[in-house]
Amino acid sequence: MDFTLILFFILAATAVATALGLLISRNAVYAALFLVLNLTCVAIFYLLLGAPFIAMAQVTVYAGAIMVLFLFVIMLLGAEKLPKGEVLPFQRPLAIGAAVILLAESGYLLFQRFRSAALLQNPGTVENSMDSLREMASLLFTDYLLPFEVTSVLLLVAMIGAIVLTKREKGEPA
Amino acid sequence: MIPLTYYLVLSAILFTMGALGVLIRRNALIIFMSIELMLNAANLAFVAFARQYNVFTGQLFVFFVMTVAAAEVAVGLALIVAIFRSKHSIDVDQMSSLKG
């Protein structure tokens, strides 16, 4: 086993374990920190896959901005302690069953479709990361220019929406 | 070198755990985090395919997904704050005002 394979398995185990931690932790702050660890693992996977720029964006945007926003809201609302008690007692086993079916379906599709295909063979050589960055930037500003511009409008709409939703009306008690 | 299948299996596992989180948790914030987990699983599959076929479109789509996720989180957290102000709870079972 070479080094990257060992690294992959360690990271995969960490990613699955932190996702499990997110599912079962009763404290929302712990859940958020588990998710940060999970996102960092995924960022290292991006590095292994030869996408360093995406990995950096993952760390700054997801683990940095989005999760800090989550932690802000958790602490602002004081909602870190979660009450116990289920309203629908049959919901949890039903959900677990549905998840097992989903996993079995995706696994079946994966192995049926890709068992003999070329996907199991090794990919090409790792490119120079600067080349991949340059290639991506040129794609972004030629073929995908319209989605890029639409994205900027989307961010503006999200910003205005967030402000309008949390704004208090005049005279409304705090 | 790690085969593509490994990444796809990991992506499927992470996606399933995110879906499970949406189904079994009752806290709106944790449901949101589970959605982020699912988006990340999809992103991982995108990047793995991009690597396999040596095209950069997959990485670009990860970009767009990240932007949409950022916008979604901003609006979603604003909604959660607004709901908390009126109901003093973010338990999704409490949000049943429309129920007959």
Q: pLDDT digits over A3-17, tens only? A: 888 999 999 999 999
Contact assessment for residue B7 and residue A45, using Cβ atoms and an 8 Å cutoff: yes
Q: What confidence tier does A86 reach under pLDDT thresholds 50, 70, 90?
A: low
CATH class in words for A1-80: mainly alpha
Contact assessment for residue A157 and residue B71, using Cβ atoms and an 8 Å cutoff: yes
Instruction: Write the pLDDT tens digit of every residue in B70-83.
Output: 999 999 999 988 88
Q: Which residues of A84-109 are buried (b: 16+ CB within 10 A; e: fewer)?
A: eeeeeeeeeeebeeebeeebeebeee
**A103 at the B interface (CB within 8 A)?**
yes
pLDDT score for A32: 92
Neighbours of A119 (CB within 10 A): 18
Q: What confidence tier does A41 reach under pLDDT thresholds 50, 70, 90?
A: very high
Residue A107 CA to residue A113 CA, distance in Å, equals 10
Does residue A137 register a pLDDT over 80? yes
Q: Answer yes or no: is B18 within a domain.
A: yes
Q: What is the ipTM of this complex?
A: 0.90
Q: What confidence tier does A122 reach under pLDDT thresholds 50, 70, 90?
A: low
User: Between chains, do B73 and A70 touch, taking CB under 8 Å as contact?
Assistant: yes
pLDDT score for B95: 76
Give the residue from B19, B77, B27 showing the smallest Cα distance to A67: B77
Neighbours of A152 (CB within 10 A): 10
Range of the domain at B38: 4-89
pLDDT score for A126: 55
Does residue A113 register a pLDDT over 90? no
User: Between chains, do B21 and A23 touch, taking CB under 8 Å as contact?
Assistant: yes
Does residue A123 register a pLDDT over 90? no
pLDDT score for A121: 55
Q: Answer yes or no: is B26 within a domain.
A: yes
pLDDT score for A120: 52
Contact assessment for residue B15 and residue B38, using Cβ atoms and an 8 Å cutoff: yes
- Mean pLDDT for B8-15 is 92
Q: What CATH number should be reported for the domain holding residue B59?
A: 1.10.287.3510
Residue among B12, B29, B81 whose CB faces A103 most closely: B12
Contact residues, chain B, for A54 at CB < 8 Å: 47, 59, 62-63
pLDDT score for A174: 55
User: Between chains, do B30 and A28 touch, taking CB under 8 Å as contact?
Assistant: yes
Q: What is the mean pLDDT of chain B?
A: 88
Contact residues, chain A, for B17 at CB < 8 Å: 16, 19-20, 22-23, 99
Q: What are phi and psi of A63, to 5 degrees?
A: -65, -30
Q: Answer yes or no: is B95 within a domain.
A: no
Q: Answer yes or no: is B58 within a domain.
A: yes
Give the residue from A137, A119, A125, A115 showing the smallest Cα distance to A57: A137
Domains in chain B, number? 1
Q: What is the dihedral of CA B81, B87, B91, B95, to 10 degrees?
A: -110
Q: The pTM is what?
A: 0.88
User: Between chains, do B47 and A46 touch, taking CB under 8 Å as contact?
Assistant: yes
Torsion sign over Cα B77, B82, B88, B91: negative
| A11 residue type, one letter | L
Q: Which of residues 54-93 of A touch B (CB under 8 A)?
A: 54, 57-58, 61-62, 65-66, 69-70, 73-74, 76-77, 79, 82-83, 86-87, 91-92
Residue of B nearest to A138 (CA): B56
User: Between chains, do A19 and B14 touch, taking CB under 8 Å as contact?
Assistant: yes
Q: Which two tokens stand for residue A119?
A: 């996907």
pLDDT score for B65: 93
pLDDT score for B45: 93
pLDDT score for A173: 60
Residue B54 DSSP one-character state: T
Q: Answer yes or no: is B43 within a domain.
A: yes
Q: Answer yes or no: is B99 within a domain.
A: no
Q: Which two tokens stand for residue A69?
A: 């926003």
Exposed / middle / buried, residue A160 (Cβ in 10 Å: 0-12, 13-18, 19+):
exposed
